């Protein structure tokens, strides 16, 4: 694909070569994300960061990624603080905001809303999550993490064995991740969820058509016994009709150190897009895993900055100029490794 000036709305836009390109650029962003170097390549550029659903990681990570490239961030969070609460349409908001910004990131509870917004936008729009539909930057950072974690064990994504656990119906991160995995070969995917929260059939079909082995089950311990990656997800309470309905599924698939030791292969990597629900009735990834070196959840979040820097650099066509506008940092740097 041609990245320059493009919206990033769905992982379906990418071919395998595009994914590799994003990862190569993300690798090159490490000195900046680690604060060894600073670059001013996007000096003067403005990111409009519009988050109409709760977000910590994605919003701040997009913002930091833009700042690390030298750009400025303006943002609005929630409907209450935006003119959408006064009845303004996505079309009008997009026309106006795109006149103020060089690129826009947007999260919105409605499926397809970010694409609708992008149609009216005069600048590239990056999807930060549209309802239960897609979360492309998260899937890219997840796959980037998988590549890095397995790479250190001399393995690649082809032939990957992965278990996706939890709310696979409403979890947009796993929808996008499964679609991305279709570009690779011989992937063994185990989908672990309550039947009512199963992965949409169209995505299962897509994976099977890509030649992947897909197993659908409710059995957690058996599923995690022979995988490279155990990827847990949160019950997406905000997409249920009521809290009580979500409560029926919360805490169904808990992973803790003793289950890990008993059932997983020694080097199984644990992932989660975060936030993990750490309340007692959920506790999908127990805190006793925090010392487990294979818990990759915080490395995942770190990697998100690299991947989002890469997306900005590609969409705004500055990949080749990042180093030209760079210098060493002045301050004491406590971030040594990622
Ligand atoms: C995810 C999301 O918003 O879809 N969070 C994130 O962006 N890292 C997952 C979730 O909220 O459960």
pTM of full prediction above 0.95 = yes
According to DSSP, residue 157 is labeled S
| pLDDT at residue 218, rounded to an integer | 97
Does the beta carbon of 169 sit less than 6 angstroms from any atom of ligand 1? Answer: no
For this structure, is 135 an active site residue? yes
Tell me what the mean pLDDT of segment 273-279 comes to: 96
3-state secondary structure of 240: coil
pLDDT per position as a tens digit, 177-196: 999 999 999 999 999 999 99
Atom number, ligand 1, closest to the C-alpha of residue 234: 12
Tell me what the mean pLDDT of segment 108-126 comes to: 97
Ligand 1 centroid–CA 173 distance in Å is 7
If one counts every other C-beta atom within 10 angstroms of the C-beta of residue 218, the result is 14
If one counts every other C-beta atom within 10 angstroms of the C-beta of residue 287, the result is 11
Tell me what the mean pLDDT of segment 129-146 comes to: 98
User: Ligand 1 pocket test: which of 11, 131, 142, 173 has the largest number of ligand atoms within 8 Å of its C-beta?
Assistant: 173
pLDDT band at 338 (very low <50, low <70, confident <90, very high): low
3-state secondary structure of 275: coil
If one counts every other C-beta atom within 10 angstroms of the C-beta of residue 262, the result is 10
pLDDT per position as a tens digit, 294-310: 999 999 999 999 999 99
Tell me what the mean pLDDT of segment 96-125 comes to: 97
pLDDT band at 70 (very low <50, low <70, confident <90, very high): very high
Does the beta carbon of 127 sit less than 6 angstroms from any atom of ligand 1? Answer: no
Average pLDDT, the chain: 96
Tell me what the mean pLDDT of segment 140-161 comes to: 95
Ligand 1 centroid–CA 332 distance in Å is 32
Domains and CATH numbers, the chain: 11-134+302-328 (3.40.50.1370), 136-298 (3.40.50.1370)
Tell me what the mean pLDDT of segment 28-49 comes to: 96
pLDDT band at 19 (very low <50, low <70, confident <90, very high): very high
For this structure, is 57 an active site residue? yes
Nearest partner of 268 among 123, 155, 127, 107, judged by Cα: 155
| pLDDT at residue 58, rounded to an integer | 95
Tokens of 273: 């897009």
d(CA 27, CA 200): 33
pLDDT per position as a tens digit, 206-261: 999 999 999 999 999 999 999 999 999 999 999 999 999 999 999 999 999 999 99
């Amino acid at each position: 694909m041609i990245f320059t000036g493009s919206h990033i709305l769905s992982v379906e836009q990418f071919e395998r070569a595009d994914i590799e390109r994003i990862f190569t650029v993300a690798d090159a962003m490490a000195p900046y994300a680690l604060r060894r170097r600073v670059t001013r390549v996007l000096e003067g550029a403005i990111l409009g960061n519009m988050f109409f659903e709760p977000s910590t990681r994605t919003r701040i990570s997009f913002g930091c990624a833009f700042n690390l490239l030298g750009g400025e961030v303006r943002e609005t969070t929630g409907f209450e603080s935006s003119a959408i609460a006064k009845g303004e349409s996505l079309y009008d908001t997009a026309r106006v905001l795109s006149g103020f910004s060089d690129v826009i990131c947007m999260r919105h509870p409605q499926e397809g809303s970010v694409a609708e917004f992008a149609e009216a936008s005069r600048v590239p729009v990056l999807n930060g999550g549209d309802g239960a539909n897609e979360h492309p930057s998260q899937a890219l950072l997840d796959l980037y993490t998988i590549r890095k974690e397995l790479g250190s064990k001399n393995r690649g994504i082809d032939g990957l064995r992965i278990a996706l656990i939890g709310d696979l119906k409403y979890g947009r991160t796993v929808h996008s991740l499964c679609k991305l995995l279709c570009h690779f070969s011989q992937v063994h995917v185990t989908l672990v969820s309550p039947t009512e929260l199963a992965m949409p059939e169209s995505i299962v079909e897509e994976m099977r058509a890509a030649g992947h082995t897909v197993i659908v089950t409710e059995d957690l311990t058996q599923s995690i016994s022979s995988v490279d990656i155990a990827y847990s997800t949160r019950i997406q309470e905000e997409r249920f009709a009521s809290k009580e309905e979500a409560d029926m599924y919360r805490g169904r698939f808990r992973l803790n150190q003793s289950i890990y030791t008993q059932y997983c292969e020694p080097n199984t990597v644990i992932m989660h897009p975060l936030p993990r629900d750490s309340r007692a009735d959920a506790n999908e990834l127990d805190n006793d895993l925090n010392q487990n070196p294979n818990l990759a959840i915080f490395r995942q979040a770190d990697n998100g900055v690299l991947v989002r820097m890469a997306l900005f650099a590609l969409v705004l066509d500055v990949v080749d100029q990042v180093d030209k506008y760079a210098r060493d940092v002045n301050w004491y740097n406590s971030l040594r490794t990622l």
